[in-house]
Chain A
Amino acid sequence: MTVRTSRRTVAAAIAGAATIAIIATGCAPSGDSDAGGTTQLTLATFNDFGYTDELLAEFTEETGIEVIHNKAATSNDARANYFQKLGKSGLADVEAVEIDWFTEAMQYSDLLAPVPDDLKGRWLDWKEAAATDAAGNLIAYGTDIGPQGICFRSDLFAAAGLPSDREAVAELFPTWDAFFEVGAQYTQATGKPFIDSANSVLQGIVNQLEFAYEEPDGTIIATENPDIQDAYNTVVEKAIPISAFPAQWSEDWNASMANGEFAAMLCPGWMHGIISGNAPDITGWDIADAFPGGGGNWGGSYLTVPANGANVEAAQQLADWLTSPETQIKAFLNAGTFPSQPDAYTDEALTGYTNEYFNDAPTGEIGIDRAEAVTVSTFKGPKYFQFHDALQNAVTRVFDGLETPEQSWDTWVTEVSAF
Chain B
Amino acid sequence: MTTTQPRVISFSQRLSKWDVKFSPYLYISPFFILFAIVGVFPIVFTAVISFMDWDLVRGSGTFVGIDQYTWILQQPHFWTALRNTFSIFLLSTVPQLVLAIFIATMLDRNIRAKTFWRMSTLLPYVVAPVAVGLIFTVIFADKFGIVNTNLQAIGLDPIPWHSDPFWSHVAIATMVNYRWTGYNALILLAAMQAINRDYYEAATVDGAGAFRQFWSITLPSLRPTLIFVVITSTIGGLQIFDEPRVFDQFGRGGAGQQWLTISLYLYDIGWGQWNFGRAAAMAWILFLIIVAIGLINLLVTRTLLRTEGTRSPVEKSRRKRTQKAVAR
B138, closest chain A residue (CB) = A251
* Chain A CB within 8 A of B120 CB: no
User: Which residues of B183-209 have CB atoms within 8 Å of chain A's CB atoms?
Assistant: none
B34, closest chain A residue (CB) = A20
A contact residues around B30 at 8 Å (CB): 15-17, 19-20
B165, closest chain A residue (CB) = A402
B contact residues around A255 at 8 Å (CB): 141, 143-144
User: Which residues of A354-412 have CB atoms within 8 Å of chain B's CB atoms?
Assistant: 386, 389, 392-397, 400-403
Nearest CB of chain A from residue B294's CB, rounded to whole Å:
30
A397 CA / B163 CA spacing, docked (Å): 8
User: Which residues of B246-293 have CB atoms within 8 Å of chain A's CB atoms?
Assistant: 248-250, 252, 255-256, 271-274
Count A-B contacts at CB 8 Å: 104
B contact residues around A6 at 8 Å (CB): 15, 19
User: Which residues of B1-20 have CB atoms within 8 Å of chain A's CB atoms?
Assistant: 12, 15-16, 19
What per-residue 1/0 map shows which CB atoms of B54-87 lie under 8 Å from chain A?
Answer: 0011110000000000010011110000000000
What per-residue 1/0 map shows which CB atoms of A1-22 lie under 8 Å from chain B?
Answer: 1110110010011011101100
A9 CA / B235 CA spacing, docked (Å): 39
B144 touches A397 (CB 8 A): no
B contact residues around A247 at 8 Å (CB): 249-250
B contact residues around A1 at 8 Å (CB): 16
* Chain B CB within 8 A of A83 CB: yes
A402 CA / B252 CA spacing, docked (Å): 17
A257 CA / B315 CA spacing, docked (Å): 67
Nearest CB of chain B from residue A372's CB, rounded to whole Å:
32
A393 touches B255 (CB 8 A): yes
User: Which residues of B60-118 have CB atoms within 8 Å of chain A's CB atoms?
Assistant: 71, 74-77
A251 touches B163 (CB 8 A): no
Chain A residues touching B, range: 35 or more
Pick from A41-49, A84-92, A145-153, A167-175 the stretch touching chain B: A84-92
- Residue in A20, A250, A386 whose CB lies within 8 Å of B33: A20
B57 touches A111 (CB 8 A): yes
Given A13-B26, A402-B256, A403-B256, residue A249 in contact with residue B249 (CB < 8 A): yes
B contact residues around A88 at 8 Å (CB): 59
A395 CA / B255 CA spacing, docked (Å): 8
* Chain A CB within 8 A of B27 CB: yes
Nearest CB of chain A from residue B231's CB, rounded to whole Å:
31
A188 CA / B232 CA spacing, docked (Å): 55
A111 CA / B56 CA spacing, docked (Å): 13
What per-residue 1/0 map shows which CB atoms of B37-59 lie under 8 Å from chain A?
Answer: 10000000000000000001111
* Chain B CB within 8 A of A60 CB: no
A contact residues around B23 at 8 Å (CB): 5, 9
Nearest CB of chain B from residue A371's CB, rounded to whole Å:
28
B27, closest chain A residue (CB) = A12
Nearest CB of chain A from residue B296's CB, rounded to whole Å:
31
Which residues from chain B sit less than 8 Å from chain A, CB to CB? 12, 15-16, 19, 23, 26-27, 29-30, 33-34, 37, 56-59, 71, 74-77, 137-138, 141-145, 160, 162-163, 248-250, 252, 255-256, 271-274
Shortest Cβ-Cβ A-B pairs, 5 listed: A396-B255, A16-B30, A400-B163, A393-B255, A251-B141
Q: List 22 A-B contacts (CB under 8 A).
A: A2-B15, A5-B23, A6-B15, A9-B23, A13-B29, A16-B33, A20-B30, A23-B34, A87-B57, A104-B274, A108-B57, A108-B58, A250-B142, A252-B142, A252-B145, A400-B162, A400-B255, A402-B163, A402-B256, A403-B256, A414-B76, A419-B273
